[in-house]
Each structure stands twice: as C-alpha cells, then as structure tokens.
Amino acid sequence: MIRLRRPMARPVSPRRGDPVWLLDLDNTLHDAMPVALPRINQAITDFVRRKLAVSEHEAGELRAHYWRRYGATLLGLVRHHGIDPHEYLRETHRFPDMARVVRKSGRLRRALAQLSGRRVIVTNAPHHYARSVVRALGVGALIEGIVSIETMRYAGGFQPKPSRPMMRRIVARLRAHPARCVLVEDTIENLAGARAAGVRTVLVTGMNEARRPLDQRSRAGSARHAELQVQSVGNLARRMSRRLSPQA
C-alpha cells in the first residue's frame, strides 16, 4: 500500500471539485541541472563502481542504461545485481548543503499558492532528498505530502514513474478521481504513463528545453501526452484553461 508521508504542514481544505496537483520535483519545481543532478549522477556512478567492482566508465554506462530501460537506475541494480535499495538511496542522495544548492523562491511560493486544491509531491527520488528540497525551496506549508520512490512498491518490487499501475494506485491512495488529478512534470515518458492512467498532464519545458538539441526537443511530439505546456510552474496558474478543469 502506498503511504503518504506525514504532511509537512496542514493544507488548506480544498473546495469540492478542485484539482489534485501531483508535482514532480527536479527540473519541475527547481532547476536541478546546474548542481543537484550532476552530483546525484556522480554519486550513483561511484556507488555502482564500488559495489560492482567496475571502472568508472562502465559504471556510468550502466547507470545511464538502467535509467533509460527502467526509468530509474535503482530498478536495474536491484533486479540484476541484488543491490540493497535503502543503501543505494541513502548513499546517492546526500545533500547536507541543500540550502545552498536549492534557493528559496518567493515566486514559486506565490505560484503554488495560486493553484487551488491539493498539492502533493510525486517523485522518483528518495523521501529524505525530496523533503530537504521542499524545505530549501520554502514551500513546505503549501505541500500536503510526499510520494517518494520508497512508497512506490507493488507486487514485491519498485514501480516508480512512468508505471501506469503505480499512478493508478497513487490516485486511489489520495481518494481522488483520475480526472481530478494533474501531473506536472518535465519528463515526457512519465506524462505518457500518467495520461494512460487517466490523469491530466502538464509538461514543464523551461528548465530542460533550452539544453536539448533542436531535433530532440519535446514540443515536437508532446501533444499526445501533455494537455498543456508551460515554461515553468510560475506560469501554470495563468495558463490554466477550461480543458484542465476537473470534470469528476
């Protein structure tokens, strides 16, 4: 069973029919590319190198391969190498200096406050990391809870985003109808899984798009998976349209 962690603050009671915002974390609520993701990737590579006794190059290739194949490097390491998932999550997401890595954002706080309804973090990152980022951003009072990768377990294994069955279980755990839920996310594959589960979808493009080659940018084929595209969460409230208004 999925268990939401204890809410970071008591949320304002939503009005009936308001959306349930399922908010991704890295490259959605904050720009993780300059510092956070490179450090995580290097920590994962170092972990794989130590545990599997391979070269740094081989470890980096394996990390990327499992991420592409399973959506999370952890799944490949557990499935094929018997790695302890808790050790992996603990060792690869250490950020004692998170307050310097992620800055508080008054604009983000205002943007989230403008989103009526419930706001829940849904991330493939571990809970301790997600909670630390939310605190550093200064938005804890606006977040009802966190669904982290530790809670995304079913049938004896991890099923993080973009798992369709897991998205359905998350929605059920929130006691919401899929049509009331909106996944706000920067990864097309995760949006595709959510949309197949009946969840509404918003693609956040601003933090990733400019870094991609022109022929790989998501706008070209994302309309099938995202009902709305925004440059940042800061633009979401004013870009909302009637087609995103929950109907259930």
Query: Within this chain, do residues 180 and 230 fall inside the same structural domain, yes or no?
Result: yes
Please name the helix (run of DSSP H) or strand (run of DSSP E) that holds residue 169, with its range, or none.
Answer: helix 164-173
Q: What is the pLDDT of residue 213?
A: 43
Decide if pLDDT at 12 tops 80.
Answer: no
CATH of the domain at 150: 3.40.50.1000
Q: What is the pLDDT of residue 211?
A: 46
Query: Within this chain, do residues 110 and 73 fall inside the same structural domain, yes or no?
Result: no
pLDDT tens-digit series, residues 201-216: 999 997 665 444 434 4
Q: What is the pLDDT of residue 11?
A: 46
**How large is the average pLDDT for residues 150-164?**
92
pLDDT tens-digit series, residues 218-247: 444 456 789 899 999 988 888 875 555 555
Residue 153: give the domain boundaries.
20-30+103-244
Residue 3 resides in a domain: no
Residue 14 resides in a domain: no
Please tell me the distance from the alpha carbon of residue 233 to that of residue 215, in angstroms, as a whole number.
24
How does the average pLDDT of the chain come out, rounded?
A: 87
The residue from 51, 73, 92 where one domain ends is 92
The total number of structural domains in the chain stands at 2
CATH of the domain at 54: 1.10.150.450
Q: Of 21, 8, 3, give the one whose Cα is nearest residue 151.
A: 3
Q: What is the pLDDT of residue 217?
A: 47
**Degrees to nearest 5, angle at CA 163 with 58 and 49:** 15
Please tell me the distance from the alpha carbon of residue 221 to that of residue 210, in angstroms, as a whole number.
16
Query: Within this chain, do residues 119 and 56 fall inside the same structural domain, yes or no?
Result: no
- With the C-alpha atoms ordered 114, 25, 171, 235, is the resulting torsion angle positive or negative? positive
Query: Within this chain, do residues 150 and 237 fall inside the same structural domain, yes or no?
Result: yes
Q: What is the pLDDT of residue 208?
A: 60
Q: 225 in helix, strand or coil?
A: coil
Residue 8 resides in a domain: no
Residue 74 resides in a domain: yes
